[in-house]
Amino acid sequence: MPPRSTPTARQRRLGSELRRLREESGTSVQWAAALLGVDRTRIPNIESGRIGISAERVRTLARHYGCRDPELVDLLAAMAQERHKGWWERHRGTLPPGLLDICELEHHSVRLHTAVTTHIPGLLQTEAHARAVFGAADPPLPEAELQARLALRMSRQQVFARERPPLFEAVVHEAALRMRFGGTGVVREQLQHVLAQSERERTTVLVIPFGVGGLPGSGQSFTYAAAALGRLDTVQLDSSHGSMLVDSDAKLARYRGLLERLRSLALPAAASRDFIRAVARDL
């Protein structure tokens, strides 16, 4: 089987974790290849996600790398066994891979924490609001791509329809509530939708009012996706150049700390709902 031309974020993550275990153990590429009985070029391809690996071989490598975390080994082996394609794969080749990586990340997360300053979180957007947001893109999106992005964003919300959806927490700045994407009617409907979603058992929306003053983290928008094991957590960053995923220990710690600071500035959940109602009344 030829190497994958565009491995998914999850395939890349499995490979990078195997590389991390190998490097932590001081094992060479040559030694790992000899252990598996493969050409040495196969190891870099496995570690980049360009070539798959069996769960049995994951366990073999982890054992010889001296990994003493059985939960991590089990999770990596399970990742290696994944063969099904998610619903988002139907958009591959039509939309940027980074957008599909977000869907994959959300699907496999046990907790999602997002912080936004100028947009309602994608998982809480109505179709009309999302259409207005995409319509404001610069440069303008071709109609076919706009429609594809809109369909993807709406489909992402099915993550909440699962029997056991991930815990979802959104820290939203007041600026995001007051942006007039789509006009007054669309905004009012959007705020009512956020209120309704915030009443869900596993969803929390916290609002940071303008009155708190400065905002840590330069107001960047990001999502912290927590896995079943903290080592496998991922942060997704939004920028004008697209989505970026980071997962180093130092950066994960930084964004955990940033989330705590943002939470400390936000109103409690009940007060946040009252605040959103007041913004809607002011429209």
The predicted pLDDT at position 272 comes to 98
Q: What percent of the chain has pLDDT over 70?
A: 99
Q: pLDDT (tens digit, 9 = 90+) per residue, 64-76? A: 999 999 999 999 9
The predicted pLDDT at position 280 comes to 97
CA pair distance 1, 123, nearest whole angstrom: 36
Pairing of strands 167-173, 111-116: parallel
CA pair distance 222, 102, nearest whole angstrom: 11
The predicted pLDDT at position 70 comes to 97
The predicted pLDDT at position 121 comes to 97
The predicted pLDDT at position 242 comes to 72
The predicted pLDDT at position 10 comes to 95
Spans of the chain, pLDDT less than 70:
1-2, 240
Give the rounded distance of the alpha carbon of 64 from its chain centre.
Answer: 32
Give the rounded distance of the alpha carbon of 143 from its chain centre.
Answer: 26
Q: pLDDT (tens digit, 9 = 90+) per residue, 119-129? A: 999 999 999 99
Q: pLDDT (tens digit, 9 = 90+) per residue, 166-224? A: 999 999 999 999 999 999 999 999 999 999 999 999 999 999 999 998 888 777 899 99
The predicted pLDDT at position 83 comes to 83
DSSP for 67-108 reads ---HHHHHHHHHHHH--PPPGGGGGBTTB-HHHHHHHHHHHH
> Which residue in 89, 225, 109 sits closest to 164, CA to CA?
109
Tokens for 69, please give them: 């975390």
DSSP 38: S
The predicted pLDDT at position 1 comes to 58
Handedness of CA 18, 21, 22, 23 (dihedral sign): positive
CATH topology for the 9-81 domain: 434 Repressor (Amino-terminal Domain) (1.10.260)
What CATH class does 91-282 carry? alpha beta
Q: Which amino acid, residue 119?
A: H
Helix axes of 143-156 and 127-135: crossing angle, nearest 10 degrees:
140
Distances (CA, A) of 240 to 66, 73, 76, 171, 258: 42, 36, 32, 20, 21
Burial pattern 101-122, b for ≥16 Cβ within 10 A else e, equals bbbbbbbbbeebbbbbbebbbb
Tokens for 229, please give them: 């094991």
Q: Where are the domains of the chain?
A: 9-81, 91-282
Given strand 111-116, what is the order of strands in its sheet? Answer: 203-208, 167-173, 111-116, 222-226, 234-239, 242-246
DSSP for 49-69 reads TSS---HHHHHHHHHHTT---
Q: What percent of the chain has pLDDT over 90?
A: 90
